[in-house]
Amino acid sequence: MQGLLYQVVPEYEDHLFTELQKPQDSIPRIGDILFHDPDGTAGGVFWHQNCWLKPFRLEFSSINEAANALRGIQRNWSALPFTQFRRAALIKSKLPPISAKPRPFPWLMGEGVPMGAWTLLDQHTMIASALCSSPFPNGVIEFAQDREGPPSRAYLKLWEALVRMQYWPANGDRCLDAGASPGGWTWALARLGAKVIAVDRAPLEPDISALPNVEYIRHDAFTLRPEDIGPVDWLFCDVACYPPRLYQWIEKWLESGLCGNFVCTIKMQGDTGSLDFETPRRFAAIPGSEVVHLYHNKHELTWQKAGGSEQIL
């Protein structure tokens, strides 16, 4: 089976069709899965919840045969049924269970444990992929939330980005949090023991700014030069701005060599017809980068780059 299968983000299907440069009625689909891209490349396509990277078709005669075929490939399989629900449930019951419990943070997934996906086309036909773009079942990750400490739920997308990277600030790391107000990301970073420089024109919540490892600077982060801040281990940015402005600022940091690791939200402005689809592609072209639509993202994408502290001057 050639091509890629895209699992849509229901609220943003129109964005995905724009990226694919295809009208909606020209792409075969079943449920939330689009069959597309016969050249097998996923470059420049970000508005999906999961991408099945190496899909295959499996004909089977029994529940046991289908389950045995999947188990013979690897351990972890997530079901995404749109038809034949009872039959899909029976196959799922014969596969190793996948925990749906909310995860703590930080959470190490473990290397070499891929997450596959499958669905049924009919009673005796399955499509599946052992390799997917998301390490989470059907692109979904839930966390054990803290409902008292953080001032907003924005920290969930930061947690998700860092778990995807399987790398996060260590105790004592120097972090720049641009667009920090009201302090959700700063709170999450400070809990890791990082030293956080929180920059925003709006103030942090008092409980956040009072943390001993937090320094608040009242300023437009984009008017600060890298030399004004100095070397940092991580740069985080959740500023609401047009994507080209974020890219221009990040370019300065990359050229400075003063930071090795980045997590930035690319905020979309306007409706589908006026959206900037080019700047996310420019971010994705930066070596070592990934641009994704996280499960906890809304009308935004996330750019992340892990370069390691060895790049810091």
Omega of the bond prior to 243 within 30 degrees of 0, cis? no
Q: Do residues 98 and 137 lie in contact, with contact meaning Cβ atoms separated by under 8 Å?
A: yes
For tokens 């997590």, the residue is: 263
The span from the CA of 70 to the CA of 56, in Å, is: 11
pLDDT band at residue 232, thresholds of 50, 70 and 90?
very high
Q: What is the DSSP string of 38-85?
A: TT---TT----SEEESSEEEEE-SSHHHHHHHHHTT-S-EEE--SS-H
Read off the pLDDT of each residue in 267-282 and give the average, rounded to a whole number.
88
For tokens 């943003």, the residue is: 12
Q: What is the model's pTM?
A: 0.94
Q: Determine the length of the chain.
A: 313
pLDDT of residue 100: 87
For tokens 């592609």, the residue is: 281
Number of Cβ within 10 Å of residue 159's Cβ equals 22
Work out whether the CA dihedral 15, 20, 24, 28 comes out positive or negative.
negative
Q: Which two tokens stand for residue 51?
A: 């991408």
DSSP category for residue 23: -
pLDDT in tens, 81-137: 999 999 999 999 999 999 989 999 999 987 767 999 999 999 999 999 999 999 999
Read off the pLDDT of each residue in 234-261 and give the average, rounded to a whole number.
97
Q: With CA atoms as reference, report the closest residue to 256 among 299, 313, 295.
A: 313
Q: In what order do the strands lie in the sheet with 214-218?
A: 214-218, 195-200, 174-178, 232-237, 259-267, 300-306, 289-292
The span from the CA of 180 to the CA of 296, in Å, is: 18
User: Above pLDDT 90, what percent of the chain?
Assistant: 87
pLDDT in tens, 165-214: 999 999 999 999 999 999 999 999 999 999 999 999 999 999 999 999 99
pLDDT in tens, 26-52: 899 999 999 986 664 556 899 999 999
The span from the CA of 237 to the CA of 199, in Å, is: 10
pLDDT band at residue 2, thresholds of 50, 70 and 90?
confident
